[in-house]
Amino acid sequence: MKRVKAACILQTLVFLQKPETGFSRERMLKINQEEFEHYKATLERQKTRYQIDDIAEQEDGSLVVRVRKQYNDNTDVSEYFK
């Protein structure tokens, strides 16, 4: 039998708007940054431990974010967040 002792999820998230909106790149970037801030606030409200590894702004106004986050809160996952 196997059992997961500790785990961490590494995600690459893309925050983007549909091109049909007709927004300028600056407007799309602002909307995507606000959406990303809302995502972080949700993680903090849920007391999920996380670490932002990378944020990249793309030419189309989207944000590509690499985030490492805690999988469960039952074990010590500090080794994943150095």
Q: In terms of C-beta density within 10 A (0-12 exposed, 13-18 middle, 19 or more buried), how is residue 72 classed? A: exposed
Residue 20 falls within a domain, yes or no? yes
Give the range of the structural domain holding residue 17, as residue numbers without chain letter.
8-74
pLDDT tens column, 4-58:
777 889 999 999 988 888 888 889 999 999 999 999 999 999 988 899 999 999 9
Residue 15 has a pLDDT of 96
Residue 48 falls within a domain, yes or no? yes
pTM > 0.85: no
Residue 81 falls within a domain, yes or no? no
- DSSP-assigned letter for residue 26: H
Residue 37 has a pLDDT of 97
For residue 5, the tally of other CB atoms under 10 A from its CB is 9
Residue 2 falls within a domain, yes or no? no
Instruction: Examine the pLDDT at 77 and tell me if it is beyond 80.
Output: no
